[in-house]
């Protein structure tokens, strides 16, 4: 649910347990081992769930939206790292503010020129 909050795209941090103090009792050390194992499991599960969520999210995007997202410079990193939070942010940016690279300006100009050519042929 945090990922869908438009003001705060992101996940809650899973804090890594602090190493036990030197000379800690066996009980404290065992408790730390359990906390560390839980942290490790949660981190791995979040990674796997994020990959699955990325696939679901990108699968729900239209081809037109995907094409627009590919025009952004950060697309390559988002795709390479399957960054689920970043893809949500890029979708939001793409849908509400358009594109923002030199490539998009060129694409816009080409589209306008194509539209002008079509209009001129109709006359």
Give the domain extent around 7: 2-98
Residue 74 belongs to some domain of the structure: yes
What is the tally of structural domains in the chain?
1
pLDDT at 9: 64
The encoded tokens of residue 42 equal 């949660």
**Position 122 pLDDT exceeds 80:** no
Q: What are phi and psi of 93, to 5 degrees?
A: -60, -45
- 66-76 pLDDT per residue, tens: 999 999 999 99
Residue 68 belongs to some domain of the structure: yes
Nearest of 88, 87, 90, 106 to residue 98 by alpha carbon: 90
Residue 19 belongs to some domain of the structure: yes
pLDDT at 13: 86
pLDDT at 2: 53
Nearest of 57, 51, 61 to residue 83 by alpha carbon: 51
Residue 6 belongs to some domain of the structure: yes
pLDDT at 85: 87
Residue 104 belongs to some domain of the structure: no
DSSP state of 3: G
Residue 29 belongs to some domain of the structure: yes
DSSP for 36-63, please give it: HHHHHHHHHHHHHHHHHHHHHHHHHS-H
The encoded tokens of residue 39 equal 């942290």
When pLDDT is cut at 50, 70 and 90, the band that residue 103 belongs to is low
Contact (CB, 8 A) for 69 and 94: yes
- 13-61 pLDDT per residue, tens: 899 999 999 999 999 999 999 999 999 999 999 999 999 999 999 999 9
Residue 106 belongs to some domain of the structure: no
From residue 23, alpha-carbon distances to 19, 27, 28, 29, 48 in Å are: 11, 11, 10, 9, 36
Residue 28 belongs to some domain of the structure: yes
**In this prediction, what percent of the chain has a pLDDT beyond 70?**
72
Beta-carbon contacts of residue 77 (< 8 Å; ≥ 6 apart): 83, 86
């Amino acid at each position: 649910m945090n990922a869908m909050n438009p003001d705060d795209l992101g996940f809650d941090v899973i804090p890594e347990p602090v190493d036990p103090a030197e000379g800690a009792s066996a009980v404290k050390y065992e408790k730390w081992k359990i906390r560390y194992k839980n942290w490790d499991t949660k981190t791995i599960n979040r990674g796997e769930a994020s990959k699955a969520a990325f696939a679901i999210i990108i699968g729900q995007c239209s081809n037109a939206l995907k094409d627009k997202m590919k025009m952004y410079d950060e697309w390559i990193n988002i795709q390479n790292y399957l960054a689920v939070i970043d893809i949500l942010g890029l979708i939001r940016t793409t849908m509400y503010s358009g594109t923002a690279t030199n490539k998009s300006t060129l694409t816009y100009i080409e589209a306008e020129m194509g539209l002008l050519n079509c209009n001129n042929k109709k006359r």
